[in-house]
Chains A and B, each alone.
Chain A
Amino acid sequence: MLRFISRRLLVMIPMVLLISVIVFFVIQLPPGDFMSSYIAKMEASNEVFDQNTIARMRAQYGLDQPWYVQYAKWIAGILTRGDFGYSFSYNRPVWDVLSQRMGTTLAISLTTMAFTYLFSIPAGIYSAVKQYSFGDYLLSVIGFLGMGTPNFLFAIILMVISYNWFGDPMLGLVSQQFVNQPMSWAKLLDILKHMIIPVIVIGTANTCGLIRTMRSQLLDEISRPYVLTARAKGLSEKRILYKYCVRAALNPIASTIGWSLTSIFTGSTISAIVMNLPTQGPLLHQALLNQDMYLAGSWLLLMTVMILLGTILSDILLAWLDPRIRYVKAR
């Protein structure tokens, strides 16, 4: 097992390096750089720059060098000092900007995940046991609608409903009057209220997918011969279902936990922009619009690394839960 894990981690290293090259290449693709968009913005408010100042500012940020030199400096900084570069628009190191939003991102992602699993597993079991019942069809329809509606559009619909009914679109994570207040019960309640829409929006697609998976997995298990054996031996239906079938059906679902956390992380990008959440998503959007290249680059790199880690975690979980896979891999 340890060898399996370490080998997977070792393979990751060249992949991450390759990814970082691609990311940086993509990020510097837009014509112009932060300076040119900054100057354009400043000139709109009647500030004039002479060529010397511009050149000096470019040189200060290393923007006058070719992209591979900038890349080499960037990656060297990450590897030697853990320095992800400087965010031009925030005037702070990239890492500061990213880590500041890490807490809220994690909180929303974890809540969403808990919601996803707590709802989808029982729903999947119900759907499989009562196959072709009204509830099953209802869940199927909801499932397809949920998978078909793009998350961020779903967010708009819910926000409009909330605006029409409560007069508040629930933008952001906390109401205006609580922004600079210390933590209190009222504020916590307010935050929880603001979490409802994000959790539903971000979780729906995943939940619907999981219900479908759970349903089909359980249907597969229920028709296995061992169920017949168990029934012939006089085990109660409940015991057959929960002790044997559900357990076996949960394997593939449990193994995707790692993967689904990262998918929530990155999948929520656009809905977070729409809902104006203080998470990582809007950060990328702003960074791309402002050509804040180190911020956007580090964001993409970190997310990709997280996806890689999530995949590895899923593989490990799967190998741990299902011995058959481990043996095949070892050979």
Chain B
Amino acid sequence: MNQNKKKPQGGLLRRLLGQMGFLPQRMVVDETEAYYAASQWQLMGRKFRKHKLARIAMVVLGLLYLQALLGQFIAPQGLTTYSSAFVNCGPTPIRIVDDSGRLRAPFVYGIATERDPVTMRKHYTEDRSRIYPIQFFTRGEPYRFLGLFESDLHLFGVGEGGRIFLYGTDGGGRDLFSRIVLGSQVSLSLPLVGLSVSFVLGLVIGSISGYFGGIVDSIIQRLIEVLMSFPTLPLWMALSAAIPPRVPMLQMYLLITMILSLLSWTGLARTVRGKFMSLREEDYVMAARLAGVSDRKIIMTHLIPGFMSYLIVSMTMSVPAMIIGETSMSFLGLGLRSPVTSWGVLLKEAQEIQNVALYSWKLIPLVYVIVTVISFNFFGDGLRDAADPYT
């Protein structure tokens, strides 16, 4: 994992890695010349590619975001669709071999319901007499794709009369897979929106602090210290408790985003200020100044690009905390609330341990949260290594 920290000595390690297939062939051949001619961003890209886990993480995140973008198309059902006949139904097994032992295209059996005579709990079993082949690009429930146009095309589905619940259903008889896919639109976009807010806040406040210095700087620094000393999660909880229970969906989403970004700009502002102050004294800035470049141009073309990579890294590193924050607040009933659906809202059903023990598929949203958080961690790790391509 750390092999990229040490520079390959005499190309031996690099050749070895190349032979083992860790590096693409073109990186094994002598590239000294290309190395010195490459731009900063090219170097970063090259270094990032060397971080194997970060590359995997990037692919995973790409898939997750693609899934969120195409949510309505991928999810076989809408958020509000429910069927009271299938409450707490387990995941539908997908089969390729039928009863007679014949191999066939993926299909599901029909679902039969029976009641346990003792506990009166519903049991779902496969009804082997009914076979529904899985159809791709099938017509189903109509939806509005990203608010742009109407459609009823879904990625997959089973024919009329059949049911497919990839991840089972929840206590309201709603398809968990659809809800996870549609919930990811909220869970994955919220940290990005929050980030952009705190990015702007951090950049502006940090630059003011670093550029003006003096009393303005001291006041801003004290304020940041105060904000930083708050326990993050409890303060988030207290703030989101202030959201009135019956606000429109969009407003609730924006309020939670604001709350999350309210505390997370401080670290960024500090980085910006520190970079501003140290870069201001650099020789190349002095050279630019002597050459008669204006202050504005120095800041825009020489200073900010100089630490942009650090900013992006520190932003990426703060995504996991935001995701966890949103999930835990929604989970506790202090954050997003139904009908807004995020992974945290879905996990609310997992609050009852007995519920989870009986219907273990209700923990599946948890897997999504963990995978996303870890991917962002690795992605940020790779970016951090890449941000400093000259070491």
Complex interface: chain A residues within 8 A of B188 (CB): none
For A296, give the chain B residue with the smallest CB separation: B238
Q: Do B377 and A304 touch (CB < 8 A)?
A: no
Kindly list chain B residues whose C-beta atoms are within 8 Å of the C-beta of A29. Answer: 239, 242
B-side contacts of A267, CB under 8 Å: 233
Determine chain B's interface SS by DSSP, over half rule.
helix
Q: How far is the CA of A27 from the CA of B238 in the complex (A)?
A: 7
Cα distance A267–B373 in the bound complex, in angstroms: 17
Q: Is the CB of B347 within 8 A of A153?
A: yes
Contact A164 B229 (CB under 8 A): no
CB–CB B332/A22 < 8 A: no
Q: Bound complex: CA of A284 vs CA of B332, how far in Å?
A: 12
| B2 proximity list for chain A (CB < 8 A) | 131-132
Instruction: Give, as a whole number of angstroms, the nearest-CB distance from B328 to chain A.
Output: 5
Chain B residues near A303 (CB-CB < 8 A) = 231, 234
Interface residues of A in 297-320 (CB under 8 A from B): 299-300, 303-304, 307-308, 311
A contact face: mostly helix, strand, loop, or mixed? helix
Say whether B241 contacts A289, CB under 8 Å.
Answer: yes
Closest beta carbon of chain A to B191's beta carbon, Å: 14
A149 within 8 A of B: yes
Q: Is the CB of B237 within 8 A of A285?
A: yes
A258 to B: closest C-beta gap in Å: 13
What residues on B are CB-neighbors of A285 within 8 Å?
237, 332, 334
When each residue 1-19 of chain B gets 1 if its CB lies under 8 Å from chain A and 0 otherwise, what string results? 1110000000000000000
Pair A270/B332 contact, Cβ less than 8 Å: yes
The CA of A47 and the CA of B233, in the complex, are separated in Å by 36
Complex interface: chain B residues within 8 A of A278 (CB): none
> Is A228 in the interface zone, CB < 8 Å from B?
no
Of the stretches A109-117, A140-148, A175-183, A241-249, the one at the interface is: A140-148
In the bound complex, residues from chain A placing their C-beta under 8 Å from that of B237 are 269, 284-285, 288
In the assembled complex, the Cα of A266 lies from the Cα of B225 at a distance in Å of 18
Select the residue from A27, A144, A150 with max chain B CB neighbours within 10 A: A150
With A22-B226, A29-B242, A171-B353: A300-B234 Cβ-Cβ less than 8 Å = yes
A140 to nearest B CB, angstroms? Answer: 6
Give A7-21 as 1s and 0s: 1 = Cβ < 8 Å from B's Cβ atoms: 000000001001100
User: For residue B327, which residues in chain A have a CB less than 8 angstroms away from its CB?
Assistant: 150, 153
A144 touching B229, Cβ below 8 Å: no
| B373→A159 contact, CB < 8 A | no
CA gap between A30 and B241 in the complex, in Å: 7
- Expressed in whole angstroms, the Cα–Cα distance for A284 and B234 within the complex equals 8
B235 at the interface (CB under 8 A from A): yes
Our pick among A137, A152, A169 for the contact of B331 (Cβ within 8 Å) is A152
Known contacts A15-B222, A19-B230, A296-B238; is-contact A160 B360 (Cβ 8 Å) = yes
A323 within 8 A of B: no
Decide if A191 is an interface residue (CB 8 Å cutoff).
no
Residues 334-351 of B contacting A (Cβ, < 8 Å): 334, 347, 350-351
Q: Is A98 on the interface with B (CB-CB < 8 A)?
A: no
CB–CB A308/B229 < 8 A: yes
Within the assembled complex, what's the spacing in Å between the Cα atoms of A132 and B3?
9
Tell me whether B334 and A18 are in contact (CB under 8 A): no
- Could you say which residues of chain B place their CB within 8 Å of the CB of A163? 353-354, 357
A164 to B369, CA, bound (A): 23
Shortest distance in angstroms between A299's beta carbon and chain B's nearest beta carbon? 8
A307/B229 contact (C-beta < 8 A), A29-B239, A29-B242, A148-B320 known? yes
Decide yes or no whether A26 CB sits under 8 A from chain B: yes
- Judge whether B353 and A26 touch: CB under 8 Å: no
The verdict on A157 contacting B366 (CB below 8 Å), with A29-B239, A288-B237, A300-B238 known, is yes
Q: Are A144 and B377 within 8 A (Cβ)?
A: yes
Asked if A321 is an interface residue, CB under 8 A from chain B, the answer is no
A-side contacts of B328, CB under 8 Å: 150, 152, 270
Q: Are B357 and A311 in contact (CB under 8 A)?
A: no
CB distance from A288 to the nearest CB of B (A): 4
Closest to A12 in B: B229
**Neighbour of A149 across the interface among B229, B239, B331, B370, CB < 8 A:** B370
Could you tell me if A150 and B229 are in contact, using CB atoms closer than 8 angstroms?
Answer: no
- Taking the closest CB of chain A, its distance from the CB of B9, in whole angstroms, is 14
Enumerate A97-153 residues with CB–CB distance to B below 8 Å: 131-132, 137, 140, 144-145, 147-150, 152-153
A285 CA to B240 CA, complexed, in Å: 12
Residue in A18, A140, A156, A304 with the greatest tally of chain B CB atoms within 10 Å: A156
| Cα A289 to Cα B334 with chains together (Å) | 8
> A98–B222 Cα gap in the complex (Å)?
29
For the complex, give the distance between the alpha carbons of A137 and B225 in Å.
37
Interface string of A219-232 (1 = CB under 8 A from B): 00000000000000
A70-112, CB < 8 A from B: none
In the complex, chain B residues whose CB is within 8 Å of the CB of A156: 350, 353, 356, 363, 366
CB < 8 Å: which of A144, A266, A273 contacts B374? Answer: A144
Residues in chain A near residue B350, CB distance under 8 A: 156
B324: interface (CB < 8 Å): yes
B86 CB-CB contact with A under 8 Å: no
Give the residues in chain A near B230, CB-CB below 8 Å.
Answer: 19, 22, 300, 304, 307
A19 touches B363 (CB 8 A): no
Does B101 belong to the interface (CB within 8 Å)?
Answer: no
B317 to chain A, nearest CB (A): 11
A266 touches B1 (CB 8 A): no
Let me know if A66 is at the binding interface, CB within 8 A.
no
Whether A300 and B353, one on each chain, are in contact in the complex, defined by CB atoms closer than 8 angstroms, is: no
**Residues on B with beta carbons closer than 8 Å to the beta carbon of A270:** 233, 328, 331-332
Cross-chain contact A19 with B229 (CB below 8 angstroms):
yes
Task: Name 25 A/B residue pairs within 8 A (Cβ), A-sorted.
Answer: A15-B226, A19-B229, A26-B242, A27-B238, A29-B242, A31-B242, A132-B3, A147-B377, A150-B324, A150-B369, A150-B370, A153-B347, A153-B369, A156-B350, A156-B366, A159-B353, A160-B357, A169-B357, A171-B353, A270-B328, A284-B238, A288-B241, A288-B334, A300-B230, A300-B234
Binding site for B on A (CB under 8 A): 15, 18-19, 22, 26-27, 29-31, 131-132, 137, 140, 144-145, 147-150, 152-153, 156-157, 159-160, 163-164, 169, 171, 266-267, 269-270, 273-274, 284-285, 288-289, 296, 299-300, 303-304, 307-308, 311
Closest 5 CB pairs between A and B?
A29-B242, A148-B374, A266-B231, A288-B241, A169-B353
- List 11 other contacts, CB 8 Å, given A156-B363, A160-B363, A269-B237: A15-B226, A19-B226, A22-B226, A150-B369, A153-B347, A153-B370, A266-B234, A285-B237, A303-B234, A307-B229, A307-B231
